[in-house]
């Protein structure tokens, strides 16, 4: 049985190099993968001052939980923004009510855990940029909602 420590486990998955400002210094540890999980996923993120995890989004296929391990990150939801503290736990349900964005506006590093259900197909929507992301079979597609095609487009 594998063990990962939420407080001290190393976040060694660094940025890929193509992230825009505000996302380029965040580090992560894929805890679910490290401990052999298959039905739940968890990642630990270390957010230096001024950095965020990912753009404002919500999941259509998975529920996510945010658990603050250290620091005081700022959480944006459909209800507005608020500063969280260590121990705070928030559930982001499937759909628009679960939209969220986590960033660190405070001095020092914030450490947060994101726990989620895992489905074979993932669909996330990004309201600020009118995008939808689809993950299936190891492939990732990013699409604009405004470029919607009709069901029969291209069919014979």
Q: What is the pLDDT of residue 114?
A: 97
d(CA 94, CA 124): 9
- Distance linking the first and last C-alpha atoms of the chain: 53
Q: What is the pLDDT of residue 91?
A: 98
Q: What is the pLDDT of residue 12?
A: 81
User: Consecutive 10-residue runs of the chain (156 residues): their mean pLDDT?
Assistant: 91 81 90 92 96 96 98 98 98 98 97 95 95 93 84 84
Q: Kindly list the distances between the CA atom of residue 152 and the CA atoms of 24, 141, 144, 156, in Å, as whole numbers in the listed order.
A: 40, 20, 18, 8
d(CA 111, CA 70): 5
Q: What is the pLDDT of residue 121?
A: 95
In the beta sheet, which residues pair with residue 85? none
- Cβ-Cβ contacts under 8 Å for 102 (sequence gap 6 or more): 45, 47, 52, 53, 66, 73, 74, 75, 76, 112
The domains located in the chain, with CATH, are 27-118 (2.60.120.10)
Q: Are strands 64-70 and 89-92 parallel, antiparallel or unpaired?
A: antiparallel
- pTM (whole model) above 0.85: yes
């Amino acid at each position: 049985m594998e063990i990962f420590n939420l407080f001290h486990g190393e976040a060694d998955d660094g940025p890929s190099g193509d992230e825009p400002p505000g996302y380029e210094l965040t580090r992560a540890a894929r805890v679910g993968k490290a401990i052999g999980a298959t039905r739940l996923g968890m990642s630990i993120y270390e957010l230096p001052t001024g950095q965020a995890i990912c753009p404002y989004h919500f999941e259509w296929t998975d529920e996510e939980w945010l658990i603050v391990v250290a620091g005081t990150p700022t959480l944006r939801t459909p209800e507005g923004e608020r500063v969280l503290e260590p121990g705070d736990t928030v559930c982001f349900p499937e759909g628009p009510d679960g939209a969220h964005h986590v960033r660190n506006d405070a001095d020092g590093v914030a450490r947060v855990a994101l726990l989620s259900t895992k489905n074979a197909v993932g669909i996330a929507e990004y309201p600020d940029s009118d995008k939808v992301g689809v993950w299936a079979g190891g492939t990732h597609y990013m699409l604009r909602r405004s470029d919607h095609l009709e069901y029969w487009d291209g069919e014979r």
